Amino acid sequence: MRAIVVNEWGGPENLVEREIERPEPGLGEILVRVHAAGVNPVDWKTRASGALITWAETPIVGWDVSGTVEAVGPGVTLYAPGDEVYGMPHFPRQAGGYAQYVAAPARHFARKPASLDHVRAAALPLAALTAWQALVDTAGVSAGQRVLVHAAAGGVGHLAVQIAKARGAYVIGTASAGKHELLRELGADEVVDYRTTHFEEAVADVDVVIDAFGGDYGQRSLSVLKPGGHLVTLPGPDGIPADTRGVRASWVLVEPDLKGLEEIAALVEQGLLKPLVDTVLPLEQAARAHEIGELGRTTGKIVLTVAQA
C-alpha cells in the first residue's frame, strides 16, 4: 500500500511517499480502507521531533480517518466488510492515518454519519473528541452555563462552540474579527477580537474556559471564571496555572472513544454539528498540508484524500 512516512524527524520535507506492507487486522481489530485522513496540529508537532507518541518501526503520522471496512479480525461483531466508519485509532500510539489502509481495534471507530462524505467525516474525530471530552466528560457543561472557547474558529474551537451550544450553554469565542460572522453562524452568542481586545477585560462570570492556546492564556483565563468554575487546557499540563484557588483546572489528552464518536455522529445527524473543512489535498501533498497548517491561519480543518489503487 502507499503511505506517507516520516523519513526523519524535522520539517515537512521529511514526509515522503513509500510502498509498505499492508497491515492485517488482529484479534478484535478491523482493517479500514482509508478514503480521507484529517490533519491536526499533533501531526506536524510530532513530525518535527517524534516526541510524545509511541511509534512503530516505520513512523507514519495521522490519527483522523474515514473509510470503509475491508476486513474484520477474529471476535469483531460491530462491523462487517463494506461498513463506512470514522475514528481516531490508537492515540497516543501510532495509527498510521496517512496511508491507504489502517488496522486498529474495532471500538476505536464508529459508524460514519450518513449525512457526511468521507472528507468531512475525516475532519471530525480527533478535534471533535477533544472538544467533547473537554466540555462534556471533564467540565460537564450544562444548559445555562457560560462557556468561553479560545481559538474558537480553529479545528477544535469551531466544534467546541457547536457542542457547547447544543448543550444549551451561552457561548463566547475569541477569534480575529474576520471570523466573527462565521462563529455567530455556528452559534456563538458573543465573540471577542483577541487582536484588539484583552478578553479578560471584556468577559466575566464564566463557568467553563476551553483553552487551546496554552502559554499565559490559562493564567489570564482564571480571572474570568466564577468561583467553582473550570479551566480546561488542551495543549498540555504546562498550561495549568500553579495557583487555581477557588476554581478547578484540568488538562485533557484525547482518547479513542466509541461512545463519544457515536454522540458526535448523533449531533451531526440532528444538524447541530457541522465540521468546517478549510483545505483538501491529495495524500501525496501531505508535506504541503503541514506547511499550510503550521501557518496557523486555517478556519476548521485540513483533510487529505486517499486514492486507492
pLDDT at residue 175 tops 90: yes
pLDDT greater than 90 at residue 239: no
Q: Give the cell for residue 7.
A: 523519513
> Does 308 score more than 80 pLDDT?
no
| Partner residues linked to 110 by β-bridges | 86
- What confidence score (pLDDT) does residue 237 get? 86
Q: Provide the pLDDT confidence category of residue 21 given band limits of 50, 70 and 90.
A: very high
Dump pLDDT digits (tens) for 74-109.
Answer: 999 999 999 999 999 999 999 999 999 999 999 999
Between 132-136, 236-240, 277-281, the lowest mean confidence (pLDDT) is in 236-240
CB 303 within 8 A of CB 286: no
pLDDT surpasses 70 at 309: no
C-alpha cell at 259: 461512545
- pLDDT at site 228: 96
Average pLDDT in the chain: 96
Task: Give the mean model confidence (pLDDT) for residues 5-14.
Answer: 98
Match domain 139-251 to its CATH number in 3.40.50.720, 3.40.50.2000, 3.40.718.10, 2.170.130.10.
3.40.50.720
In the chain, % of residues over pLDDT 90 = 93
**Any idea which architecture 2-126+255-305 has in CATH?**
Alpha-Beta Complex (3.90)
Of 68-82, 121-135, 239-253, 276-290, the one with minimum mean pLDDT is 239-253
Contacts of 96 (CB under 8 A, 6+ apart): 3, 23, 56, 60, 62, 102
Mean pLDDT calculated for residue range 160-184: 97
**Between the CA of residue 163 and those of 86, 88, 185, 225, 232, what are the distances in Å?**
19, 18, 14, 20, 15
Q: pTM for the whole thing? A: 0.96
Mean pLDDT of 285-290: 98
Task: Give the model confidence (pLDDT) of 254-286 as tens digits.
Answer: 999 999 999 999 999 999 999 999 999 999 999
Torsional sign, CA 305, 41, 23, 80: negative
Element containing residue 266 per DSSP (H, E): helix 258-269
Q: How confident is the model at residue 194 (pLDDT cuts 50, 70, 90)?
A: very high
Strand partners, 233: 211, 251
The domain locations on the chain are 2-126+255-305, 139-251
Cβ atoms 40, 300 nearer than 8 A: no
Please report the pLDDT score of residue 238 as a whole number: 81
CA-wise closest residue to 267 among 143, 167, 127, 137: 167
All three cell numbers of 147, joined, read 462557556
